[in-house]
Amino acid sequence: MKRKPQLLIAATSSGCGKTTFTLGLLRALRKRGLSVASFKCGPDYIDPKFHALASSPSLEELHLHTSINLDQYMMSSEHLREVYTRHSKAADAMIVEGVMGLFDGATRMQGSSASLAQTLDIPVVLLVNAASSAYSVGALIYGFAHWKPDVQIAGVIFNRVASESHYRFLVEAAEDAGVPSLGYIPRTQLLDVPSRHLGLSLSELERLDELPESIATLIEQHVEVNRLLELCLRPTPPQPIATSQESTQGNLRISVARDEAFNFIYQENILALERLGEISYFSPIRDRALPATDLVYLPGGYPEFYLEQLSANAAMREQIYNYVLGGGKVLAECGGMMYLCRTIIDEAGTSYPMCGVLDNEATMEEMKLSLGYRSVHTAGLTLRGHEFHYSKLKHTGSEDNIAQQHNARGIEVPTAMYRKGNVIAGYTHLYWAEQNILDLWSAQDNEEANA
């Protein structure tokens, strides 16, 4: 059986430089002429954009290098393995960026980087922040290597290393911990990953392109890349059998909002929508007309950074309002839901008119983070998703809450899912790649008919 380099880049904690190292390694392998399939552990939307930038020869080819989310809370194990295998088929190597510390999960190890590595049966390359440390890191490495023996740690990379003499202490520590040291990234302020709000437009991505290039240069100088790839060789995953669902093709016209303000989109959700029909993309910022459509998907993003542009495009706001008035189906998540409200209020208290579909106001005043996995129960259906936002709804409108939601520990949370006509909206970013999202409407209609 053919073998390919496959690895999960993990760390002892958040802030150790996982994203920095991942971007550099992706760019270094691309410069070696390798095609790399990249993945992100968890529900993160921003890191996959950075992955695509690091893997693509040009900004025009970003769409060909999509990084895929792998999330054990939102995805079944069978679906997760199928997704990993399918996207790895044409790749020369596979790289997964982990989340938080190696063993940190929603509950104990559930959904952690370590658990994902176990599920995919791939080794871990552990990143250690070596700032202000020397031989003592050996105890840390030993603990990580032996805490869960069935998690394979292929080697360790040190970040923020002060000098070659500093690195020699670290090598000795790794040797005595029984874990190969594969190199280091020197301490420099040039490699800080920029604001999570950046990278949303092509112009911003063009400015960010220097970051993976700089990291790749340091990796080639200080990391044993060939040895890393050799230690991480694993058998190619068996190719999945195509399902009947994948072979069907619907005839719906589907419109997806995608621009700087709305771009928190799971690629597997898009593939699921493609099975239902033909997708057209539109920009609520720039486009004046909504495509002819049977379903509109308004994903999350950062509408709060583009309030003037969204509000100024009255033609699009009116188009969406009239589409909904005529009975059109809309699924709106987080920022997409905010766009459907009467207004969005910024941090300073300034109000910007939006679509007026929902009898609510969204506000960024007195921001407070709402974060966590969500299990959504509505009309006999259960969907999984993730909530992440700083805004809140200022007033409760006339829309009905049609769902009960729980966090990863099974505790009920007050997050609502609203329905008004054929609009279904809420703060939770849903993952529906294993389901037919149209069931959301049919289940609600059946429940109302049987009431």
Strands 295-298 and 329-333: parallel
Alpha helices in 277-369 (DSSP H): 307-312, 314-325, 335-340
- 110 φ/ψ angles, rounded to the nearest 5 degrees: -60, 120
Q: For residue 215, which of 237, 188, 194 has the smallest C-alpha distance?
A: 188
Active site residue 232: no
CATH class of 248-450: alpha beta
Selecting among 16, 41, 334, 355, the annotated active-site residue is 334
What pLDDT is recorded for position 49? 87
Strands 370-378 and 277-282: unpaired
- 238 φ/ψ angles, rounded to the nearest 5 degrees: -65, 140
Domain ranges of the chain: 3-235, 248-450
* Choice between 195 and 164, residue whose per-residue pLDDT is larger: 164
Q: Write a three-state SS string for 213-235.
A: HHHHHHHHHHECHHHHHHHCEEE
pLDDT tens for residues 219-231? 999 999 999 999 9
Residue 99 has pLDDT above 70, yes or no: yes
pLDDT tens for residues 377-389? 999 999 999 999 9
Mean pLDDT of the chain: 92
Residue 180 has pLDDT above 50, yes or no: yes
Residue 21 has pLDDT above 60, yes or no: yes
CATH topology identical between 3-235 and 248-450:
yes
Residue 193 has pLDDT above 80, yes or no: no
C-alpha torsion angle, residues 229, 44, 57, 305 (rounded to 10): -160
Please tell me the least confidently modeled range out of 159-168, 181-190, 242-251, 374-383.
242-251
Q: Which two tokens stand for residue 351?
A: 């109000």
C-alpha torsion angle, residues 431, 23, 111, 275 (rounded to 10): 20
What is the fold, at CATH topology level, of the domain defined by 3-235?
Answer: Rossmann fold (3.40.50)
Residue 440 has pLDDT above 60, yes or no: yes
Alpha helices in 32-76 (DSSP H): 46-55
What pLDDT is recorded for position 59? 61
Pairwise CA distance, residues 244 & 225, whole Å: 41
pLDDT tens for residues 263-313? 999 999 999 999 999 999 999 999 999 999 999 999 999 999 999 999 999
Please tell me the least confidently modeled range out of 207-211, 263-267, 420-424, 439-443.
207-211
Q: What angle do CA 127, 133, 139 make, to 5 degrees?
A: 70
Residue 198 has pLDDT above 50, yes or no: no
Contact 286, 316 (CB under 8 A): no
